[in-house]
Chains A and B, each alone.
Chain A
């Protein structure tokens, strides 16, 4: 056991910090800082800057732009990126479909997709969930029927994040409706969002934003060469995808940023002859949140260090569960710091309520999603109880 970073890791951290704070476009970091929604162009630019510096896909195989970093170094990369308000690379590309293609795709697929995926020349969206297949993903019904060298896809996906920006979708489809186990009849298919027969309907979220969609498929013809891996083995690839990433599962850097922001604002709000930050109730709440976050970050470091075998560590469920809880607690803290000003949520320019106080409640409402998507917190508890505790 040792507390300090090795000199090597220290200089690695310095290197990351310097790049993110000095060389990454300031305008994008400012937008993230102000909780403004990034445009598609900003997200693309951001990822290309990272990719050019070799920082978009460090966990990929070296031949496709990855690095042989230690898990600790990847953790440092991720934390420094968040601390500097640099948007993380698009998860659909770099954490989801990229690693699947790298692990299970044909050489042709790798050459065709991986460089474009790392550079966000192709924007991917994730077509897993369906109206009747949420937590019970394996019950999905979107069908793909083989006709010669094509699949014909019919059905519907939902909750498709940023589908409106996407060029391609990676989709779980049912190719064998008769499989004894429903997990066995699923395949992993890739196709362009502008294929004939694909339509998109925006879903408005509670904060008024448009980040998810319903996607409908009507006789969409997909070349068989766009099947990843073996037919009817898609469930294995999906499990690989969902369990692949441990670094960044707990949004530690994001929560730190939110808490720091709450403290900054609370220090500037006058209450009586002191500041809100000196209010004992608020201070106690912040202290507790910071301590919870410390224990989470340490757990993340511990889990990361123990994951050398490449298999998902079951404790990543702890990170997802607690991480989203703390993320939600931090967004709630910001609303409470804004207090009565938080009501001015859609005030326009000219308002005397500061911009930060106007965005905190929509953000709080929006982040209720964090304990629902990516395997809800109930699903994470099921995993902890079942896989870890054997209950």
Chain B
């Protein structure tokens, strides 16, 4: 086991950090997230130029042939500055499904476009009331001859208003979950976008007999594929949240050494410095498990289980650090004008995106009888 990055990975991390600090080192994020599409197209283009948007895709599909470790370090850097670009959503989630299931034509076409930054593709999977299920709910797919149409509502779909195209999960007549590709300008497609509390974007995406193309070859149920893609995205989010926690704690420590009350800086109150120390403990434990889950993914291990473990710990740590970061700042922490609260907001969003801590705990609890102890080195 080795937690360190190789030279190439270190160089990638430095390059991404440099790019993102330039983009979001100051107050830029607030301006960017206040206007559409909620992220910076120029930054997206620069990430593409750097090769970041094609990292996990095969070279034959227009990608860089890198893996989960590279994805994780990009996600961590994005988390540090709360970059609002849809990296995990487009590259890891939608891109991951296309890479895993798409036909050769679909892969070369769509993955190249994602990698070049010319197309934002997102997964339209969530449905109101459907709690983090890997199967489709009420959106249905109807086949006539070789062609398919979709009907129903997906919501909230991350960046659903801006997306150029969608990977959509739907139920076929036999009750199976299938995945489809739908262009943003497809007939009978309506989307209504809105802001999310963390400054991001989501949309209600409605299909009314909307023409769709099957992703990959016709086959059985795609639930397990969705589950796997969601797990890869959970691991990426775990790393993104560690980046966000890292900055939230750094800002808090910095604030404690500068804010004065009662004639002294706040770090003179041990009641507060101990709280920061506890945040550090949470952060480091979360970091370890996020990196471990990343290595499991890299080694081709059980990503679903690893993602659940990472989710539980990062969810708990994210809540702890998010709440304390605000509390130790006092009033300024709950304002939109000061950055620290945005970290809490983002951590809250990530937590509820693909299954929260208690949800992961429920799944893990169901499996405790199946092993004597947990060994990270298997």
Contacts and interface: CB of A to CB of B under 8 A. Distances in A.
A381 B134 CA distance: 46
Nearest to A368: B326
Contacts of A352: 127-128, 153, 155, 204
A344 interface: yes
Interface string A364-377: 11101101110011
A348 interface: yes
A366 B345 CA distance: 10
A351 interface: yes
Given A206-B345, A339-B356, 10 more contacts: A136-B261, A206-B342, A269-B131, A328-B323, A336-B356, A344-B202, A347-B155, A351-B204, A353-B156, A368-B344
Contacts of A129: 331
Contacts of A351: 155, 192, 194, 204
27 contacts: A135-B261, A139-B261, A204-B335, A204-B336, A206-B344, A332-B319, A339-B356, A339-B359, A343-B158, A343-B197, A344-B194, A344-B202, A345-B195, A345-B196, A345-B197, A346-B196, A347-B192, A350-B204, A351-B155, A362-B197, A365-B197, A365-B345, A369-B331, A372-B326, A372-B333, A373-B331, A378-B269
Nearest to B342: A206
Contacts of B158: 343
B155 A335 contact: no
Interface in B337-378: 337, 341-342, 344-345, 348-349, 352-354, 356, 358-359, 361-362, 365
A83 to B, nearest CB: 27
Contact of A365 (B128, B262, B344): B344
Nearest to A365: B345
Interface of B: 126-132, 153, 155-156, 158, 192, 194-197, 202, 204, 260-263, 269, 271-272, 319, 323, 326-327, 330-331, 333-337, 341-342, 344-345, 348-349, 352-354, 356, 358-359, 361-362, 365
Contacts of A369: 331, 334
Contacts, number: 159
Given A339-B131, A342-B352, A372-B333, A347 B204 contact: yes
Q: Top 7 A-B pairs ranked by shortest CB distance?
A: A345-B197, A136-B261, A204-B336, A344-B156, A346-B195, A206-B341, A352-B128
Size bracket, chain A contacts: 35 or more
Contacts of A206: 197, 334-336, 341-342, 344-345
Nearest to B344: A365
B234 to A, nearest CB: 13
A376 B330 contact: yes
A294 interface: no
In this complex, the member of B127, B156, B204, B272 whose beta carbon has the largest number of chain A beta carbons within 10 angstroms is: B156
Interface stretch (A71-79, A164-172, A279-287, A309-317): A279-287
A378 B331 contact: no
A345 to B, nearest CB: 4
Contacts of B131: 269, 271, 276, 339-340
Contact of A205 (B155, B194, B323, B336): B336
Given A204-B337, A276-B131, A365-B348, A340 B126 contact: yes
Contacts of A365: 197, 334, 341, 344-345, 348
A346 B330 contact: no
Given A343-B156, A353-B156, A365-B334, A282 B197 contact: no
A126 to B, nearest CB: 13
